[in-house]
A and B are shown apart, each in its own frame.
Chain A
């Protein structure tokens, strides 16, 4: 466990930036908090989570894959040689990245993701750096380094060898300093996850009637935002564009809320209603992924609830499920 002040934090980031394309939280002119290149604007070390999901950097909304020239030659998309470092991600975002890392690495590996993700560095930022200085729960170690904001600087702990090497020069501090934060953090996590986990059990037990999904589906305006902002959503479709120089194939973020997502060539759609598609969205996170990966694939990052124009993000739906169908 290390301790550092702002000058030392800047020194760490400056050092990282020598070997990585370092992105750090900054506030744009309209107030939106996004990861932006280190050195291009002011580092904003507290506030709401960065708005763009962190998986964007490895699986962007438009992801060019390859180009076929007119002679039939295939050229794969180029990837910058310098690996990426994302700084400032919270516990939920790091868990989401960890989830997608495992998903994409599972055979057959997602090469386009892997090539962007390889050798990347993740630095978490937790502690008292949420909106209005609220406590952000500690990570579960799915990063190279975690910085924990305190009133008088940051605690730093490494979870990988690279992380340890980067922190080597900083002052050691008694790990006990973390004691209270850790217990507060665990309490917060348990509280936040209680509703989601209860909703997941209800969904897994098939206790949610079709009428409920119809009701929620009726409130969906099909913006697809819930999927697009979700860091554990990875579905994409393929776009080919042909010009005089050949054909470029890209993948673009898709959404299971679209009719076209599952529609067959015949026009028939096995998920042909909004009710079915809404059920799928929630069921996948709370039941299907639990069966497949052993964990709920929502880590309460909060993005879908913020971006949903009609208030049917996963936390709102989970709360409604618990309220109406809990047998306790």
Chain B
């Protein structure tokens, strides 16, 4: 049994464990790191089963090229030559911006960096993005505006020091289990808990207050709480005076959100809003925790602004046990953003539109670089439908299942002239590709991953990739060379040296320093100890900026034709589009088929029994899934996870986008349910 210490491939909590290899060389199990500050000898169920999919017989083992309509095995040279030639040809014929590069929150920092370099320096386009567009793009936009940094302000250890946690739109025990469990432990030790979520999530069983606001009414709820705090004089005037700006505008903007008005908009009782305001404001140290329930709306950025306003109003920033804490969903979604796998910034959020930044990267890479920000991934789908986008390079993502409005995405991908995917399994998206390149999974490569608390940690190679599969960084290095760029990296550590040299917040990060617990950025130089808590003396932008917002309804609300509200998310046992967890025996056994949660009242009215197959329809499509009759969802609401290709929730979802962050409104659309 040989142990290899590495980072869990699932959520953004950043647990570390040892992958165990038996005498025959196969991965035989997982053992949590006993001393790691986040894992502490503990894991969630996905972590305990993280070895299970690695050697699955479905792994892609050889490059595939589409010939006569079928994907057939090919050699690496032929496949890479074809990828380079076709992308180059499209760029020559239609301009560089006819290409889109989709990076991945599942690959390492080094690989994200190389992909954005390939897009920008190799093919001359800023059209590079990744799935943060679908999860925390609203956070990056909103918090950069209000605080100057779009990341979790505090660290996971802060949950042990706080007086109150307000969880809004995060099913923390299921989606960040080792953070959710810290919250549960804190509650056992006297920390107060407010849960604001329409579903009866596990945390709500332990909450002092459970606010089941209507999906899409978060701005109203937060404005109502803010107004009540001001009404009762519970705001922190000294903090507002010295550390913030634009307070009068906030005060004016929240004035209409009286408890009564807020109650009407949210479906709550006025007393609940008053109670929440008092409980929150009276805590000396309060942590605001949020995730997709806040961000995945057509007004996701406004939701984030409202969360930030509440923290600034009550001095819950820059101190231990406080903060605005967006929980990042994937193990490297923070890192993928940090590395500039985004259309408007290089690594470290250095803007492509800034001539000085452009010159810096241009000098480093030895080629001129494009100046205008590129397409967001959701806009790229629209551009592919419109026919202006011709080529798509997709690294480790499965937009056909993960993006809103599947028919629209399918139309986009089928409309492309050339699509290449790099993946570990033949996903639904790969099946539409012209070239599929077999990649290594987390267990088969070295690289760094940045967790939700900005902790940069080392993943390590435990086993070799299967067959002819290669690491993503090797694949990208080959393509960079074909583009005429120097890319003689001996190992990912050398790529990190280049990243550190070009990225101030990672300036002090090197493999030598990351050996045990990693480092939290900003870490500007080699002697800097890292920064577990942001905004301590002042906000990254200087003053904390109050950014007033007003309630806007969702783009599509239930009506006579589609009378139920539909929201999507993840379950505890599966991961995103299921390519890994549905190939992990125990996880797959726990939830084997597509299902949707339906309240007993609705089920009775519609004549639907538990586990009965139902048809759910929206204006965009229809799926058939198994009904789970449960009080977890309120009457009038249906919830379905998006893990299952055979009952794909994103057939139904609305690709109405937030105008600023480009995030789709996954959390609200209108559906009709029928018994079958």
Q: Which residues of A contact B (CB under 8 A)?
A: 28-36, 48, 51-52, 56-57, 60-64, 80, 218-219, 221-225, 228, 237, 239, 241-243, 252-255, 258-260, 267, 306-311
* B5 and A260 contacting across the interface, CB-CB below 8 Å: no
Contact string against A for B residues 14-36, beta-carbon threshold 8 Å, 1 for contact and 0 otherwise: 00101010111011111111111
Helix, strand, loop or mixed for chain B's interface?
mixed
Q: Contacts A29-B516, A62-B26, A223-B48: A252 and B585 contacting too (C-beta < 8 A)? A: yes
A-B contact pairs, 7 of them (CB 8 A): A34-B3, A62-B26, A62-B29, A223-B42, A223-B177, A252-B585, A309-B177
A266–B423 Cα gap in the complex (Å)? 36
A219–B1 Cα gap in the complex (Å)? 33
Nearest-neighbour CB distance to chain A for B74, whole angstroms, equals: 19
* B173 and A221 contacting across the interface, CB-CB below 8 Å: yes
**In the complex, B144 has a CB within 8 A of chain A:** no
Stretch at the interface among B178-186, B439-447, B485-493: B178-186
Chain B residues contacting A51 (CB-CB under 8 Å) are 31, 34, 41
* A32 and B56 contacting across the interface, CB-CB below 8 Å: no
Task: Considering the complex, give the chain A residue whose CB is closest to the CB of B610.
Answer: A267
A56–B22 Cα gap in the complex (Å)? 11
Chain B residues contacting A31 (CB-CB under 8 Å) are 33-35
* B48 and A60 contacting across the interface, CB-CB below 8 Å: no
* B31 and A258 contacting across the interface, CB-CB below 8 Å: no
Nearest-neighbour CB distance to chain B for A175, whole angstroms, equals: 36
Q: Contacts A237-B586, A310-B185: A32 and B34 contacting too (C-beta < 8 A)? A: yes
Chain A residues contacting B585 (CB-CB under 8 Å) are 237, 239, 252
* B27 and A62 contacting across the interface, CB-CB below 8 Å: yes
A60–B27 Cα gap in the complex (Å)? 11
Closest 3 CB pairs of A and B: A61-B29, A31-B35, A309-B181
A-facing residues in B38-73 (Cβ within 8 Å): 41-45, 47-48, 51-52, 56-57
A243–B28 Cα gap in the complex (Å)? 18
* A56 and B1 contacting across the interface, CB-CB below 8 Å: yes
* A61 and B41 contacting across the interface, CB-CB below 8 Å: no
A219–B188 Cα gap in the complex (Å)? 10
Nearest-neighbour CB distance to chain A for B585, whole angstroms, equals: 4
Q: Contacts A51-B41, A62-B26, A223-B45: A30 and B35 contacting too (C-beta < 8 A)? A: yes
**In the complex, B206 has a CB within 8 A of chain A:** yes
Supply 13 further A-B pairs (C-beta < 8 A) apart from A52-B1, A223-B42, A241-B56: A29-B5, A30-B5, A30-B36, A31-B33, A57-B1, A61-B51, A62-B22, A225-B48, A228-B48, A243-B57, A307-B32, A309-B42, A309-B44
* A32 and B33 contacting across the interface, CB-CB below 8 Å: yes
Nearest-neighbour CB distance to chain A for B247, whole angstroms, equals: 40
* B184 and A254 contacting across the interface, CB-CB below 8 Å: no
Nearest-neighbour CB distance to chain B for A259, whole angstroms, equals: 6
Nearest-neighbour CB distance to chain B for A225, whole angstroms, equals: 6
Q: How many A-B residue pairs have CB under 8 A?
A: 134
**In the complex, B590 has a CB within 8 A of chain A:** yes
Chain B residues contacting A48 (CB-CB under 8 Å) are 34
Most B Cβ at <10 Å: residue of A219, A255, A309: A309
Chain A residues contacting B620 (CB-CB under 8 Å) are none
A240–B173 Cα gap in the complex (Å)? 31
* B43 and A33 contacting across the interface, CB-CB below 8 Å: no
A22–B51 Cα gap in the complex (Å)? 25
With beta carbons under 8 angstroms apart, the residue of B28, B35, B586 that contacts A254 is B586
Task: Considering the complex, give the chain B residue whose CB is closest to the CB of A252.
Answer: B585
Chain A residues contacting B20 (CB-CB under 8 Å) are 52, 61
Chain A residues contacting B590 (CB-CB under 8 Å) are 258-260
* B184 and A60 contacting across the interface, CB-CB below 8 Å: no
**In the complex, B202 has a CB within 8 A of chain A:** yes
A67–B310 Cα gap in the complex (Å)? 60
With beta carbons under 8 angstroms apart, the residue of B24, B41, B45 that contacts A306 is B41
Q: Contacts A222-B572, A259-B590: A309 and B48 contacting too (C-beta < 8 A)? A: no
Chain A residues contacting B610 (CB-CB under 8 Å) are 267
* A224 and B48 contacting across the interface, CB-CB below 8 Å: yes
Nearest-neighbour CB distance to chain A for B205, whole angstroms, equals: 5
Nearest-neighbour CB distance to chain B for A280, whole angstroms, equals: 17
With beta carbons under 8 angstroms apart, the residue of A30, A228, A259 that contacts B516 is A30
Q: Contacts A30-B516, A56-B1, A309-B181: A225 and B35 contacting too (C-beta < 8 A)? A: no
* B181 and A310 contacting across the interface, CB-CB below 8 Å: yes
**In the complex, B611 has a CB within 8 A of chain A:** yes
* A32 and B611 contacting across the interface, CB-CB below 8 Å: no
Nearest-neighbour CB distance to chain B for A1, whole angstroms, equals: 33
Chain B residues contacting A32 (CB-CB under 8 Å) are 3, 18, 31, 33-35, 41
Chain A residues contacting B174 (CB-CB under 8 Å) are 221
Contact string against A for B residues 145-183, beta-carbon threshold 8 Å, 1 for contact and 0 otherwise: 000000000000000000000000000011001101110
With beta carbons under 8 angstroms apart, the residue of A33, A34, A260, A310 that contacts B586 is A260
A62–B43 Cα gap in the complex (Å)? 18
Task: Considering the complex, give the chain A residue whose CB is closest to the CB of B460.
Answer: A29
A279–B18 Cα gap in the complex (Å)? 31
Chain B residues contacting A221 (CB-CB under 8 Å) are 44, 173-174, 177, 180-181, 184, 202, 572
* B589 and A260 contacting across the interface, CB-CB below 8 Å: yes
Chain A residues contacting B5 (CB-CB under 8 Å) are 28-30
Task: Considering the complex, give the chain A residue whose CB is closest to the CB of B57.
Answer: A243
A-facing residues in B257-302 (Cβ within 8 Å): none
Nearest-neighbour CB distance to chain A for B173, whole angstroms, equals: 5
Contact string against A for B residues 75-110, beta-carbon threshold 8 Å, 1 for contact and 0 otherwise: 000000000000000000000000000000000000
Chain A residues contacting B178 (CB-CB under 8 Å) are 309
* B3 and A80 contacting across the interface, CB-CB below 8 Å: no
A239–B41 Cα gap in the complex (Å)? 26
Chain A residues contacting B660 (CB-CB under 8 Å) are none
A31–B34 Cα gap in the complex (Å)? 7
**In the complex, B414 has a CB within 8 A of chain A:** no
Nearest-neighbour CB distance to chain A for B62, whole angstroms, equals: 13
With beta carbons under 8 angstroms apart, the residue of A56, A61, A223, A241 that contacts B57 is A241
Nearest-neighbour CB distance to chain A for B23, whole angstroms, equals: 6
**In the complex, B515 has a CB within 8 A of chain A:** yes
* B34 and A62 contacting across the interface, CB-CB below 8 Å: no
Task: Considering the complex, give the chain A residue whose CB is closest to the CB of B36.
Answer: A30
* A237 and B589 contacting across the interface, CB-CB below 8 Å: yes
A-facing residues in B519-575 (Cβ within 8 Å): 572
Task: Considering the complex, give the chain A residue whose CB is closest to the CB of B573.
Answer: A222
